[in-house]
Amino acid sequence: MVEVSIVIPTKNEEKYIGEVLNNIYNQSFKDFEVIVSDGNSTDKTKSEVEAKISKFKKKGIELIFISTTKKGVAVGRNLGAKKASGKYIYFFDSDVYPDQEFIKTTLAELKRRKLSMGTVKSRPSDRKLKNKSFHIFMNRSLAFLQFTPFPAAFGHCIICSKKSFNKIGGFDPDIFLAEDTTFMVRGRRLRFRFRVLKSKKLIVSTRRLNTEGSLWVTIRYILCALVFIAKGRGPKRGIAEKLLRYKMGHGHIKKDRIYKRIFRKLKKLI
């Protein structure tokens, strides 16, 4: 049994999974396992992971690849968590870049503050002003919302104890978007202590922002917030899925079609 289980949901991430695994491999903290929970990728994600298994093993770290044909990031996280043996679980996206002290430092803060759940602020992987502005806005939103009945978290990094995960019941696979924030809100309702950690920020790829546009991503989050106000959870699959079209493995939608589609769908709903 290890202290930390790292769970990474993937879907066609052959171009990115290798780099996040390299960053995890170089962590100064060593008492962890890594579980890549794949959503039936059709590219070389599996071979990219399996190529690193022996490297991790030489360092005493178990790297596990599991797969499912079921749809959704929530399913991937839940499957990985079910396999996890650690006391704490770190859920990472497949395009994040934690520095060498990330796990050691954030875990120490989580324990020191006696938290059951946490997340971190983010930094963009490039220097574009629009992407920096987006991350500043999201970070300030996280900092504010942690003190409300609706604490937010983003999938790039969710930290929780295995005990709290099991008590909450995992991520809701019926939630199409904001399943991460829904998870945190349900934890808050069960009185698990949650905070945005102060000790580290996480570098996050800007590929979705650059491909889809930061404006569209922001609009999508605002729509999610409106659903939260009305329903107390993220939007479920169905109309919201067709309207928002938020997929694992970014870069599926061209910018010039996004805005036409959103307004066309909204017009039908009205």
The DSSP code sequence of 123-143 is: EESS--HHHHHHHHHHHHHHH
Rounded to whole angstroms, the Cα distance separating 203 from 196 reads 15
- pLDDT tens digits, 173-211: 998 788 999 999 999 999 999 999 999 999 999 998 998
Position 253 scores a pLDDT of: 45
Q: What angle do CA 176, 71, 80 make, to 5 degrees?
A: 100
Position 234 scores a pLDDT of: 78
Position 248 scores a pLDDT of: 56
- pLDDT tens digits, 91-115: 999 999 999 999 999 999 999 999 9
Residues 165/91, Cβ–Cβ less than 8 Å = no
Written as six digits, the tokens of 40 are 């039936």
Position 213 scores a pLDDT of: 84
Per the structure, how many domains does the chain have? 1
Of 228, 231, 144, the closest CA to residue 181 belongs to 228
Cα separation values, 180 from 57, 121, 127, 258, 262, Å: 31, 14, 26, 24, 23
pTM of the entire predicted model: 0.87
Rounded to whole angstroms, the Cα distance separating 244 from 2 reads 38
Sequence-ordered strand ranges (E) for the chain: 4-10, 32-38, 63-67, 88-92, 96-97, 117-124, 157-161, 194-204
Position 71 scores a pLDDT of: 86
Range of the domain at 207: 4-269
Rounded to whole angstroms, the Cα distance separating 37 from 73 reads 9
Written as six digits, the tokens of 110 are 């989580």
Give the CATH number, domain containing residue 251: 3.90.550.10
Residues 184/195, Cβ–Cβ less than 8 Å = no
Which residues of the chain are modeled with pLDDT < 70?
237-270
Position 260 scores a pLDDT of: 55
Of 123, 110, 124, 132, the closest CA to residue 29 belongs to 110
